[in-house]
Structure 1
């Protein structure tokens, strides 16, 4: 099926415009995943509004903003899935813009916020004063607002008007002659953000290990001076095993975060980045990679709730309250 002509869009007929017989099953899966994303991340936002302690903690603020990014991904997936399931919606331009732009902004801001969380942990690990200079008080909200505004403005500036009815919507229709520029810039920036996030996590882990080993060496030296030889040897062995356990637990958490980022959001970033080399992904491939990125949006709240006690307690209280009704 060919798309209608658009002199400003310069859109060519290719595999992006073909109707896939798997569209309905994929859209149904996308609708289910989007509803879960929206529910889980909306719950996190409710906890944020309810709990003053969660709002007051700097790290918790970073996590909640990530949930807002993930919520936008869920909403965009909901719109895209409805468009694929309802034929009357598939030809409407406004839902086409909304599903394309919101998912683009949501995924990018999710990458940026994950980078910001990684950067925050790095600054804390090295004891940098820039942690307070950048993220103290209302400054973090200024960073949130500025980053969202810039990304939304850039997306809006690159949208090209399209007045004719659509046979099927894709990202080429939305950005028209700016499509290559948009995909190139988006792909490069997203790839840089993802790699920077991974590198910062590794630097953070390295810094924490070095700091722990220095502290541990000091503790062992004091223990050797104040205990007997036998007791000291047993204590040393115990502390060594305890130290290893803490280090390996830290490696697990960091490895989990990196793995989820690479395995779930990575394919979307790679697909977009590959368009720089004249790679033309199908509409279904783009949708599936967005779906994988969306799964990351489901898992994120559970990871942080597992590691942050206050969030975990609030989740349990909310869950118990719901069961009581």
Structure 2
């Protein structure tokens, strides 16, 4: 939502005269639309800030690699929400509309958040691929503190690359503040974002599809004696057994959905089949969540990503709507986490219960 207002200049050509202050005509959205956009931006900040607090406070979330990579998307969504609110402020206050620093910060927050979102979605897809297909590579890349290095190094690289292209025009910003902020390097910037966004989106989708095909081939049939691949994968998806009471002969799987129930194991063959069934269900559950996140990303953020480098030909209002859809994506992500991740839903319920006491 970096450019939600339209402005045209009269009796002034800012590219020629730097001492001329253009007369600005504003083409605002209606008050209800601005109020709705502002509400969406605030929801985005509140929801994703809450997820970020959970990551910091709950050690078991950080130890669960899959949950960590999914929830760390909140960092990019916080940036998108901030950039979106800054864009709304530009439509309602003249001082923000003519501020060069505010325009640069608005664009930097929005674009950095967008690219980090694509980067983290790629990491989630990559990690699921490595877990199911290449376990050793998963250990080398993501385990222990390496997960933090992979995330933070990506953030820094994206931020630096964005800052390198910043070259704002000396005149006051107009309606299209992206072309204004990257004015001196705009052509190079468009080439860069086309390559970055296309490669990240394409790699994310391809890795996910390859993982689905591999999983279907691997778990199509489980032999009576057990499948070694299933036994390897089951260790990487956080399924733990708890020693039962002597009077009860059942296994409890702490990270399985509530609807999954484990019958008492009577033979080794039955145990192997049961492990294979549970593994398939768990893998399908994680792939379903990844697929849902990718689908929501493509529906709400995809149009903005695809049209970002050709945005000069679009009306100002259409560009604002595309940014609004991107912010809605950032609002939906925390809802998806709580809906699909049983552990996270339990933590959120506990936290809300404590607040109500």
TM-score by length of 2: 0.74
2:125 and 2:290 in contact (8 A); partners too:
no
Of 307, 315, 322, which residue of structure 1 is paired with 2:348? 315
Q: 1:308 to 1:27 in 2, by over 3 A?
A: same
Partner of 2:325: 292
Paired with 1:208 and 1:217, the residues of 2 have a C-alpha distance of: 19
Paired with 2:36 and 2:13, the residues of 1 have a C-alpha distance of: 29
2:90 and 2:97 in contact (8 A); partners too:
yes
1:170 and 1:283 in contact (8 A); partners too:
no
2:44 and 2:77 in contact (8 A); partners too:
yes
User: What does the per-residue CA deviation read over 1:153-180, in whole Å, with 9 as the maximum and x for residues that have no partner?
Assistant: 1111111144433354521110103112
Paired with 1:63 and 1:304, the residues of 2 have a C-alpha distance of: 8
| Secondary structure of 2:313 counterpart | coil
Deviating more after overlay: 159-168 vs 248-257 = 248-257
1:70 and 1:110 in contact (8 A); partners too:
yes
Paired with 1:168 and 1:191, the residues of 2 have a C-alpha distance of: 26
Shift >6 Å, 4+ stretches: 247-251
Unpaired runs of at least 5, structure 1: 10-16, 221-234
Two-structure CA RMSD over aligned residues (Å): 3.0
Partner of 1:172: 179
Q: 1:213 to 1:196 in 2, by over 3 A?
A: same
1:1-150 matched pairs, under 5 angstroms: 1-2=8-9, 5-6=14-15, 19-22=26-29, 24-150=31-157
Q: 1:319 to 1:180 in 2, by over 3 A?
A: same
Partner of 1:14: none
TM-score by length of 1: 0.81
1:24 and 1:85 in contact (8 A); partners too:
no
Higher helix share: 1
Partner of 1:206: 213
Q: 1:198 to 1:62 in 2, by over 3 A?
A: same
Unpaired runs of at least 5, structure 2: 1-7, 19-23, 228-269
Deviating more after overlay: 60-69 vs 117-126 = 60-69
Q: 1:154 to 1:174 in 2, by over 3 A?
A: same
Paired with 1:145 and 1:249, the residues of 2 have a C-alpha distance of: 27
Q: How many Å apart are 1:58 and its aligned residue?
A: 1.4
Of 183, 195, 212, which residue of structure 2 is paired with 1:188? 195
Q: How many Å apart are 1:323 and its aligned residue?
A: 2.7
Paired with 1:146 and 1:7, the residues of 2 have a C-alpha distance of: 41
Q: How many Å apart are 1:6 and its aligned residue?
A: 3.2
Q: How many Å apart are 1:126 and its aligned residue?
A: 0.8
| Secondary structure of 1:214 counterpart | coil
Partner of 1:231: none
2:169 and 2:184 in contact (8 A); partners too:
no
2:28 and 2:91 in contact (8 A); partners too:
no
Deviating more after overlay: 248-257 vs 160-169 = 248-257
